[in-house]
Structure 1
Amino acid sequence: MSAQCDVTGRRAAGEVMGVFERYLSVWVALAIVAGITLGKVFPGAFEALSGFEVANVNLVVAVLIWAMVYPMMINVDFASLSHAGERPKGLTITLVINWLIKPFTMAGLGLLFFEGFFAGLVPPDDAKAYIAGMILLGAAPCTAMVFVWSQLTEGDATYTLVQVAINDIIMIFAFAPLVAFLLGVAEVIVPWQTLLLSVGLYVIIPLIAGALTRRHFMAKGGQDAVDQFTGRIKPITVIGLVVTVLLLFAFQGERILANPLVIVLIAIPLIIQSVGIFGLAYLWARGWNVPIAIGAPAALIGTSNFFELAVAVAISLFGLNSGAALATVVGVLVEVPIMLALVKLVNGSRRWYERTMAA
């Protein structure tokens, strides 16, 4: 799912975004339909799959999530940290948006809509579950698709690598406490043991495995060898995401068929969050005279989510058939169309951005 930055960060859109990434929402939509259908036809089979658990971790889902997360972690280059001081303004915007603003605004929007505007449309317990899923999305800054959004806007390749490496390091230490705090504010109590286990399984171990794999192939044949390997295993990532979504909706089918409006209700605050975060970061970058090659990726990075992690943790904490897991998958469904629209906005506003800075 991830794409590596080249030397200039200026690949053509067709090269940057393959068929899978460009039509991700289509594959997710098809997996949703297939999941709901298969869940009704073979309910016993999916019920059996839900029983393969160890310490609240579904083993089938764990394998699928690993298939998604491990390939993208190979693209994280910790050697880029030596450049961390070269783009301090852009990095400041990214880190403030990702860790001090976005998680809190996502939680706030969840509470506002599901305990306010939508209070009469969904049961209170379901509302709390959807809020929990939104919180997990908001606390997981993007890793995989960052390279794609950066290249589509001709972003600075070195900056993108730096921010991904730093975000992943921060995520190891900040994700669990931040999620626990925000869930507590939303009056959703979760077991710390399961939360920490999820971070270890889906962040720390894949990150270490990816770093070791990257080191091996860099020694063997440099960046070309890394790109060739990630290209070969890319179909595994595709299968992992599609099958995970299918499983989730096989379990969620009855709930969704009973209330199909729920998908729209979850999508509304997610879309508002994405547009609002992007606008704040993009205008901040322009007002701070940050070059667009840095400012555009900084804004898009803050907008996008590490939805693979959010899905995995939602399943571990709340279960395959939970509203929290459903909310994270809706995040997958809406993210790519929104991000592509924002990429188009960046490229269309380039002259305005640069003219305003020059003035």
Structure 2
Amino acid sequence: MHQGNSTTRRAAGLRAARLRAARLIGAAVLAGVLATTASGCSFLRGPDELPAPSRSAASDDGSATPDADPSASAEARRIAESASPRTPTPVPTEAAAPDPTVSPIAVGTVMSEADVVTPKGSVRFHYRVVVGDDGYPTVQWSSFASTLPVPVGATFLETPPSVGDGLSWHGVGDTRLGGGPGAAAPAATDMDPGRVDPSWLGAVVVYSAAESAGPDLPVELGPDKVLAVQPVRWSVPARTTNVHPVDGGARPNATGTTSDDGSADGSPTAYRIASEDLIGAVADRLGLSVKDLVWLNPDVTVYGDQQYLYEDTVLNLDPFRR
């Protein structure tokens, strides 16, 4: 009985020893697997499949340390950049465009001066166009004389009429000079206050300022009848500008037509609005900012959220005629 118990105890001890040995072997194998995995090797590689070399970076103590996984590095950079985004480059805006300018003409500059005499010599006077203190042209009248029984007026027009025509528009610098009953003429008259350069006006026109046609008044002296037309010779100093329109060609929402009106360099001087034209698209076609276009046309009108322009409106593109 004692011998059987001893045998049983020895067998149990052997089994326990074998179990401990198996556990030790398993632990060693597991440690080897973990070490191999940490070193970058894989048990699934064949004998010729060695791990690819990787670049190293210097550690704090100067020794080389392996880089992290490239995909992980890229992801880390992406996260870092999203957390601290770079300041974007500012997009140019309308506010960044320079203000449009034209060089001024000096105060006191004489732009035109001449004597005017009607064909029969019944009316004569002298005029002088000079730049006033406000930078705009003023007409100075002097030496007026008339033998006509009606008052006489004078004005400047772009397109000269003919003697005997009736005026439909009294032009720029319109002034009643005198003659017949009525008050004396002013010594000076401001010209169009919106234009610094009046050289677009082609002629000075003398006309009858009679208020009504009476039975004893000759037809040729009736109200607004043209008595004399004399071309104007201008002497306007050259000026500079930073507004230079160039027609880049029709495009969506800018399909109108341009004209150059005989400009020296062929640049467009006017633009006629077409249907569906937008002010932004038109400005872009002409190489201008919207600020430039509004400066050239202070009275321009738009409608709608997209700022459509009114069809058949003619925009001025000449910075010297604004």
Q: What is the TM-score of this pair, normalised by structure 2?
A: 0.21
Q: Which has the higher strand share?
A: 2
Q: Which structure has the bigger radius of gyration?
A: 2
Q: Which has the higher helix share?
A: 1
Q: What is the TM-score of this pair, normalised by structure 1?
A: 0.19
Larger relative contact order (CA 8 Å, sep ≥ 6):
1
